[in-house]
Amino acid sequence: MKKNVVWWPAIVHKENAQKYGDYNYFEYTRKSWEYWCERNDVLFVPFTEPVEDDLFRFRPNWQKIIFVFDELERLGIDYDQIFLADSSCMIKWNAPNIFELTDRKFVGWNDRDNMRWIYDSIQGYKSFFNGFELDQYSYVSSGVIIFNEIHKEVIQGFKKLYLDNIDKFIDLQDNIVKKGNDQTPLNYWLQINNVELNLDLPIAFKLTHMHRKDLFSHNWQDGDDKTPFFIKYGYNWVFNGIPKDTRSTLIKETWDLVGHNYNMDTAKYDKILDEMLHKDTAKYTTSRKLKLDILEKFGNGKYKDKTIVEIGASQGQSTRMLSHIFKRVIAVEWDDWNLEQAHSNNSDRTNVEFVKMDLYNDKWEDHLPEDVDVVFIDAGHEYYQVKMDIENSFKRFGNPIFIFDDYGFPPGEVKQAIDEKVNVGDLVIDKFIGEKPEDLVHASGTKFFDMEGVICNAK
Amino acid sequence: MPSKNIVFMIAVNTENKKEYQYSINSWKYFCKKNNAELFLLDESVVDQEEMHIIFQRYYLFDMLEHNEIDYNQILMVDADTIVHPDCPNFFEKTNDEYCLVHDDGSYDWILRGMEHYHKYLFTDEWFNFWDYGNGGFQIVNKKHKSFFKEMINLYFENKELIIQMSNKFGIGRDQTILNFMLHRHKIDTKLLSYKYNMTCMPKKEILGDDHLYSKLGWVYHFNGIPDKNTNVPLLMEKTYNFLYDNLDD
């Protein structure tokens, strides 16, 4: 199956190591992309071994573009769109999935950082390209571009152009123009070949020359928030245009500030979990950890055709999480205000049905279907209520899997009802989920005495 | 006869700013070439203690109507700009929308302004910084008359706060407010190319004796320039002479 790819050129040019600060920054920028790719179901493909070993004749900047299709095919990668992101780029952990914004065109960002450098570079290569009038306002940075299979022919043509004129290009690059490597020739090639460019994506995805834009600054007039603007508002931080020997230090300092957000253990589900509130800020929902545990337990694809009933949906935060796992989510709630909020919080989810019912007075068969596979119980917290929810679930749904929230909620009536069913053999504990009592941060300060939740099977 | 397009510029207190005459002259040339009319605000509408002169541009429609000037589209442009004599008629590129040019000069200034106004005035509102337009080049039309009234109303409802914030934080007079208001009122905007409002040129490294900027766009905005009291008049004079000295009237 085709997958979107991040193509990450990071070839160490040992002879240039001094100039590039020993490439120590690779460690951090790589981790950022690995996380982002996992989070967005994108394939991360580092390009670390050159195709050609002579790195003066074949500069890494040239190799990253002219060999991209050859390498992806050699590696047997079934690519869809390809995001070429230089190793000096660090992606923000929660940057949107850019592949959804491209219109499947060749995406670039007009480079207006040092317009004189660009102008001079364009003029320098003009005669090589037979006087072609290049539009500087369509000139893109070659270190942040997105393309796909329809651009293979034009990129392969660019490779041929380089191979056929390699000595001339090296002379222009090193002795005559001395303004970049592949970038300006690539721009000529794209424009000469009338490649349709999408130049309209937000600049947040290409924050080059951040010092020039004052993006390393923060709101120095207003109190405590010293978070630099580029971190707050940018998506793809490109550490270029700065002295190259300072790059590693700057990137490490950035990583020290934000690295904790790139947790590979949770990357697969973080995007879903960022869509909703958790117990640390909203007392009426579950913790992030409990939701993560449910995603890990049920998000393996086996439940994508199954139905879950959520008993006590409250404002629909966990409902939203469940809608990413199950085919059908039936969310039961009694309170009108909660129902309104739950609707609003799930307005874009197409597999959620809300049911207003009084769980302890209405007949379940009047409101809920029989063919339910999993039931998530998080309604009344008194002993008799939990007991009724369990018994009614058995009665209506047969032998569903049970997920319980608030197992360790004081004074202990939820736990009492569950434990009783376990002790008599109606339920078998599969695993405890969510936070341990000592780790649970509750928005209203409630202290739990046992685990936050538990998954049980019917015997 | 169809209504004319208007170029509107604030030209109050220009006695000691001869460089603004270069700006006016360049825009006169543009207007003549493109059958537009130049309208100068040479007297403030309300006391400048009451409202900074820059904010008074949102009385535009009242002024035009008071002066019985029929209008189609209007460019409101700052007096520290010079337009190239060959500048295309940008009124033909607007799609009748509210047009600005993205400001990518100093995001420190822009984002501080956005954060302050978000905190104190537009508390539930936010917009993407890449949609932020510079207020020194705005093209509007009759559709935007009621929006300008909203700008004036907002000002008087929050006058003390706006003056205080502007003075305390140095985050401009109207520009950030304008951007929040465009967002609040869901005004369709179109961001034109940097060619039409070339702000903060030193950061782009295009100012210099070779006048490189004049090859890269059409409207030169002499802001973001160090030691501006000395350099802006000098640069505007040089630019005007370079572009217009050898032209016929």
Distances (CA, A) of A450 to A219, A311, A453, B106: 43, 21, 9, 53
Percent of chain A with pLDDT strictly greater than 70: 99
Contact B112 A222 (CB under 8 A): yes
The set of residues, in sequence order, having a beta carbon less than 8 Å from that of B171 and lying 6+ positions away, is: B109, B112, B113, B116, B117, B165
pLDDT of residue B73: 98
Q: What is the complex's ipTM, to 2 decimals? A: 0.95
The residue that leads in pLDDT, B43 or A374, is A374
Percent of chain B with pLDDT strictly greater than 70: 98
C-beta neighbour count of A209 within 10 angstroms: 18
pTM: 0.92
pLDDT of residue A102: 97
Please state the CATH superfamily assignment of the domain spanning residues A269-458 in this structure.
Answer: Vaccinia Virus protein VP39 (3.40.50.150)
Q: Does B107 reach chain A within 8 Å, measured CB to CB? A: yes
Mean pLDDT, rounded, for A310-331: 98
pLDDT of residue A245: 83
**CATH number (domain holding residue B141):** 3.90.550.10
Identify the band that residue A14 occupies on the pLDDT scale cut at 50, 70 and 90. confident
Residue B249 is assigned to a structural domain of this protein: no
Contact B112 A221 (CB under 8 A): yes
* CATH 3.40.50.150 location in chain A: 269-458
pLDDT of residue B13: 77
In chain B, the residue whose alpha carbon lies closest to the alpha carbon of A217 is: B108
Mean pLDDT, rounded, for A303-309: 97
SS3 of chain A: CCEEEEEEECCCCHHHCCCCHHHCCHHHHHHHHHHHHHHCCCEEEEECCCCCCCCCCCCHHHHHHHCHHHHHHHCCCCEEEEEEECCCEEECCCCCCHHHHCCCCEECCECCCCHHHHHHHHHHHHCCCCCCCCCHHHCECCCEEEEEHHHHHHHHHHHHHHHHCHHHHHHHHHHHCCCCCCHHHHHHHHHHCCCCEECCCCHHHCECCCCCCCCCCCCCCCCCCCCCHHHHHCCEEECCCCCHHHHHHHHHHHHHHHHHHCCCCCHHHHHHHCCCCCCCCCCCCCCHHHHHHHHHHHCCCCCCCCEEEEECCCCCHHHHHHHCCCCEEEEEECCHHHHHHHHHHCCCCCCEEEEECCCCCCCHHHCCCCCCCEEEECCCCCHHHHHHHHHHHHHHHCCCEEEEECCCCCCCHHHHHHHHHHHCCCEEEEEEECCCCCCCCCCCCCCCCCCCEEEEEEC
**Domain A3-261, CATH number (from 3.60.15.10, 3.30.70.260, 3.90.550.10, 3.40.1710.10):** 3.90.550.10
Q: Is pLDDT above 90 for A18?
A: no
What is the domain extent for residue B218? 5-244
Q: Is pLDDT above 90 for B108?
A: yes
In chain B, the residue whose alpha carbon lies closest to the alpha carbon of A233 is: B129
Identity at A305, one-letter amino acid code? D
Identify the band that residue B248 occupies on the pLDDT scale cut at 50, 70 and 90. low
Mean pLDDT, rounded, for A208-229: 93
pLDDT of residue A119: 98
Instruction: Give the model confidence (pLDDT) of A59-106 as tens digits.
Output: 999 999 999 999 999 999 999 999 999 999 999 999 999 999 999 999
User: Using CA atoms, how far apart are residues A286 and A268, in angstroms rounded to an integer?
Assistant: 19
Instruction: Give the model confidence (pLDDT) of A390-448 as tens digits.
Output: 999 999 999 999 999 999 999 999 999 999 999 999 999 999 999 999 999 999 999 99
Q: Is pLDDT above 70 for A280?
A: yes
Instruction: Give the model confidence (pLDDT) of A94-105 as tens digits.
Output: 999 999 999 999
Mean pLDDT, rounded, for B151-155: 98
Q: Which one of A119, A202, A215 has the shortest CB-CB distance to B107?
A: A215
> What residues in B contact A233, CB-CB < 8 Å?
111, 129
Residue B134 is assigned to a structural domain of this protein: yes
> What residues in B contact A123, CB-CB < 8 Å?
none
* CATH 3.90.550.10 location in chain A: 3-261
C-beta neighbour count of B189 within 10 angstroms: 15
Identify the band that residue A16 occupies on the pLDDT scale cut at 50, 70 and 90. confident
> Are the CB atoms for A456 and A418 separated by under 8 Å?
yes
Identify the band that residue B249 occupies on the pLDDT scale cut at 50, 70 and 90. low
Q: Does B249 reach chain A within 8 Å, measured CB to CB? A: no
How many domains, in total, are found in chain B? 1
